[in-house]
Amino acid sequence: MKILVIEDDVPSATYMAKGLEESGHAIDLAHDGKTGLLLAATNDYDVLVVDRMLPGLDGLSVVKTLRATGNATPVLFLSALGQVDNRVEGLKAGGDDYLVKPYAFSELLARIEALARRGAAAGEGEVQVTSLRYADLGMDLLSRRVERDGRRIDLQPREFKLLEVLLRHAGQVMTRTMLLEKVWDYRFDPQTNIIDVHISRLRQKIDKGFDVPLIHTVRGAGYSLRAPDGTP
Amino acid sequence: MRRTALLRSSTFRLTLAYLAVFGLSALVLLSFVYGASVTFMERQVMATIDAEVQGLREQYQTGGLAALARTIAFRAESDHNSGSVYVLFDTAGNVLAGNLDEPPAGRITDEGWLSFTRASDGKPVLAQAFLVDGRAHLLVGRTIEDKRDTQRLIRNAVFLGGAVMLVLGAAGGLVLSRWTLARLEAVNRTTTRIMGGDLGQRIAVKGGGDEFDELALNLNAMLERIEQLVAGMREVTDNVAHDLRTPLTRLRARIEVGLMGPLDPATARTVLEDTVNDAETLIATFDALLNIARAEAGEQRASWERVALREICRDVVDLYAPLAEDRHMTLVLRPGPDAAVAGNRHMLAQALANLVDNAIKYAPEGGRIEVGVGAGPPPVVEVADNGPGIPTHLRERALERFVRLAPDRTGPGNGLGLSLVKAVARLHGAALDLDDNRPGLVVRLRFQAPAGRILPSDGRPAEAIAAS
């Protein structure tokens, strides 16, 4: 995946680039808004990571300019400004996601990959799905039924929603914050890792009694629905 | 006190300005008195002259010019000091009778009023002139040195009085300025000392209850408040230093120890993973502090929306139900009506989550936690448990930053949970009560939105929304 990182703090940009390269992505770096805008406009990227505070042209203006020229590359804003207002501002300017510093690298990686998928899916056109399937796990969104390997599994409404989000992002890492956002629609950090408890509940029903577990813990990052053979 | 400071003081300037206004009005008054008295005296002189003329006219009508000359000569003779002036002279300027040696210099009008200076003694004279028979001029008048004296008197009064007033006013202004400057100097000296770092200083109060005392009392009250805030801030800083320094020291020690010996990949991995965990704890504490600071700054109201309290209660109960169940506790949402307030739903949910989190943390195994919404007004959200509760005298302290009432401070948590709840409550104009649940603790958020708080989205105040 090709990613452009526009970040003026050189050490953190370098670390980010190294981490992303190690995760198998190709990275371009820009340390100011103008260079970043030029690179973004002349190359084809899968995701742009844009710091809000940049020397010269600030991050918001870069993205506004890109959007005005019809460039729809997914954008992840990075910011030290955490207020809700700033987040809303960023999303209004054309950003697709917003991450507040200091962030965990795993959180950044997970969000970048989620954005890249979404960008690719949008390219193929919106498809109304009525069922989701991954490996031997199937979910019918209309009758709200879940079965694995032909066996019917009963889920609570919230467990159903949690599994649906994991299925929609199968193969990707979903962080706890992302799950709280997508399943409960809240953005805050609970004092206790409450998501872990929900996942372990879901695991009891999805993986218990089967030889191959599907829900995997990604250390220091979050969870991922993945089959051992790596089927996407 | 420097003299220039005294002269530049606002009291002195005010005194000068007042002096100018007062002097001007005195001047206006005196000139009116002067004008009135001069006019009055002139009129009296004219009336006297008119009476004399009347007598002379009768003489002339009965005895002709000769009788007139006789009468004039007689009157001039008998009048030495009363200041009357009579003179009859022919057209050639020869005096026929009277007490003037020669006609006054200059052209003499045939009829009417004129004033001149008597040549013999230089006294001013006001006189009426007549032409008699076309052959002789008659002047009847009176000296008017009285009028001149009055003029001089008033002028002197103006000059002398003005000078005295100026001197007294300036002196009074200086005294007044010295006095106010001295009182203000006391305030200035104290504030300078306070700026120098001694926050304990207070401005002296004279006790007379005047406006300077009032100012001093208000400033002292303000200083009291600032001192409290600074003390609170210092405590927070100390706590931050402690609660961030401890994990930072641990983190650093771990890395240093790891670097001491040869590192095999497995150990290196463990060290690094533990380091990441430490960093995560640090960031979480930091985030919690930032969230509190943000809520306390209270600058986010622009993005507020209508928040259904029951909905976030349901979500939080839903979020924490599995955790409570794992600990064999019952977590339920009490049935009841819904209520809505203006606010930030993420922050309100976090506050509620912190309360439920705490209840689960401290309630005994098999405990019962109830979340309830009261429609009010005012709308209320409460979280009640049947755990150990918090003794009355510790409840205030429980809301402070980094305060953990559990004596060992080893369990999970950073002591910021309730502080955040308090900050979010204050941001939303809600009162936060900790109360006895007999047994256990009940925490209530009572939304008493102050009247007139405007919801930006549709312009309705929060209370209107709460009631709808």
* CATH number for position B242: 1.10.287.130
Are the CB atoms for B417 and B357 separated by under 8 Å? yes
User: What pLDDT, on a 0 to 100 scale, did the predictor assign at position B455?
Assistant: 40
Query: CB atoms < 10 A from the CB of B358, how many?
Result: 22
Confidence of residue B130 (pLDDT cuts 50, 70, 90): confident
Helix A33-42 vs helix A59-68: crossing angle, to nearest 10 = 30
Range with lowest mean pLDDT among A98-107, A187-196, B394-403: B394-403
Distance from CA of A118 to the nearest CA of B (A): 25
| Most confident among B75-89, B100-114, B327-341, B379-393 (mean pLDDT) | B327-341
Nearest CA in chain A to B417: A191
Q: Which residue is associated with the tokens 């100390």?
A: B238
Chain A contact residues (CB < 8 Å to B): 82-85, 88, 102, 104, 158, 184, 186-192, 194, 197-198, 201, 219-220
CB contact under 8 A, A220 and B276: yes
Out of B300, B319, B412, the one facing A194 most closely (by C-beta) is B319
Stretch A131-143: mean pLDDT = 88
Higher pLDDT, A97 or B413: A97
Question: Is there a single domain that holds both residue B284 and residue B317?
Answer: no
pLDDT of B404 reads: 65
Compute the nearest-CA separation of B352 from chain A (Å). 10
pLDDT tens, residue by residue, A17-28: 999 999 889 999
Give the number of other CB atoms < 10 A from CB of residue A214.
23
User: Is B407 a domain residue?
Assistant: yes
Give the range among A20-24, A121-125, A210-214, B99-103 with minimum mean pLDDT. A121-125
Using an 8 Å CB-CB cutoff, list chain B residues near A192.
Answer: 323, 357, 360-361, 412
Q: Do both B371 and B309 map to the same domain?
A: yes
Q: What is the pLDDT of residue B461?
A: 42
Q: Each residue of A93-135: pLDDT tens digit?
A: 888 998 888 788 888 999 998 888 876 666 554 457 888 888 8
CATH, range A2-124: 3.40.50.2300
User: How distant is the Cα of B412 from the closest Cα of chain A, in angstroms?
Assistant: 8
Chain A residues whose beta carbon lies within 8 Å of the beta carbon of residue B345? 186
Going by pLDDT thresholds of 50, 70 and 90, the confidence category of residue B412 is: low
Same domain, B92 and B70: yes
Q: How many domains does chain B have?
A: 3
Please tell me whether residues B120 and B225 are part of one structural domain: no
Q: What is the pLDDT of residue B80?
A: 67
Chain B partners within 8 Å of A160 (Cβ)? none
C-alpha B401: how far from its chain's center?
A: 36
Residue of chain A nearest B295, judged by CA positions: A83
User: Which of A89, A185, A191 to probe by mutation at the B interface, max B CB count within 10 Å?
Assistant: A191
pLDDT for the residue numbered A76: 94
A83 pLDDT band (50/70/90 cuts)? low
Last residue of a domain, one of B278, B294, B310: B294
Residues from chain A that touch B291, judged by Cβ atoms under 8 A, are: 188
Residues B326 and B446 both lie in one domain: yes
Predicted confidence band of residue A179 (pLDDT cuts 50, 70, 90): very high
**Mean pLDDT within B379-386:** 88
Contact B353 A184 (CB under 8 A): no
The answer to whether the CB atoms of B323 and A188 lie below 8 A apart is no
Inform me whether the pLDDT recorded for B113 exceeds 90: no
Structure confidence at residue B458 (pLDDT): 40
pLDDT at B308: 87
Report the pLDDT averaged over residues B304-332. 90
Q: Calculate how close chain A gets to B347, using CA atoms only, in Å.
A: 8
Do B82 and B22 belong to one domain?
Answer: yes
Which one, of B226, B225, B182, B228, lies nearest residue B204 by Cα? B182
Q: Is the pLDDT of residue B467 over 60?
A: no
Its sign, for the CA torsion B290, B285, A6, A92, is: negative
Residue at which a domain ends, from B117, B150, B183 = B150
Instruction: Give the number of other CB atoms < 10 A from CB of residue B299.
Output: 11
Distance, in Å, from the CA atom of B154 to the CA atom of B148, rounded to the nearest integer, reads 10
For position A230, what pLDDT does the model report?
54
CB–CB contact B284 A189 (8 Å) = yes
Question: Scanning every residue of chain B, which has its alpha carbon at the shortest distance from the alpha carbon of A162?
Answer: B319
Q: What is the pLDDT of residue A127?
A: 59
Nearest by CB to A197, from B315, B322, B349: name it.
B322
Q: Is the pLDDT of residue A47 over 90?
A: yes
User: Are B226 and B122 in the same domain?
Assistant: no
Q: In this structure, are B143 and B250 located in the same domain?
A: no
pLDDT for res A75: 94
- Compute the mean pLDDT over every residue in chain B, rounded to the nearest whole number: 80
Q: What is the pLDDT of residue B299?
A: 57
List all residues 6 or more positions away from B382 whose beta carbon is below 8 Å from its beta carbon. B371, B372, B374, B442, B443, B444, B445
Q: What is the tens place of the pLDDT at every residue in B37-52?
A: 888 888 888 898 888 8
Report the CATH number that the domain containing residue B77 is assigned in CATH: 3.30.450.20
Buried residues in B311-332 as b, exposed as e (16+ CB within 10 A): ebbebbbbbbbbbbeeeebebe
Nearest-CB residue to B413 (from A88, A191, A201): A191
> A197: which chain B residues are within 8 Å (Cβ-Cβ)?
322-323, 326
Does residue B313 sit in the same domain as residue B450? yes
| For range B16-28, the mean pLDDT | 86
Q: How high is the pLDDT of residue A164?
A: 92
Q: Is the pLDDT of residue B312 over 80?
A: yes
User: Are residue B277 and residue B327 in the same domain, yes or no?
Assistant: no
Query: Looking at residue A21, what is its pLDDT?
Result: 92
**Is the pLDDT assigned to residue B430 strictly greater than 50?**
yes
Range of the domain at B252: 211-294
* B273, B277, B287: residue with CB nearest A189: B287
The region of weakest confidence among A74-88, A119-133, A174-188 is A119-133
Fold of A131-225: Arc Repressor Mutant, subunit A (1.10.10)
For residue A63, the model assigns a pLDDT of 93
Most confident of the ranges A36-40, B228-232, B464-468: A36-40
DSSP-derived pairing of the beta strands B430-436 and B441-447: antiparallel
Q: Which residues of B touch A104 (CB under 8 A)?
A: 276, 280, 283
**What span, in angstroms and rounded, lies between the C-alpha atoms of B369 and B331?**
5
Q: Summarize pLDDT for B131-179 with one digit per residue, the tens.
A: 887 778 888 888 888 777 877 888 888 888 888 888 888 888 888 888 8
Is B274 found in the same domain as B257? Answer: yes
Instruction: Give B235-265 pLDDT, tens digit per residue.
Output: 777 777 777 787 788 888 888 888 888 888 8
Q: Which of A75-84, B195-204, B314-323, B378-387 has the highest mean pLDDT?
A: B314-323
- The answer on B220 and B95 residing in a single domain is no
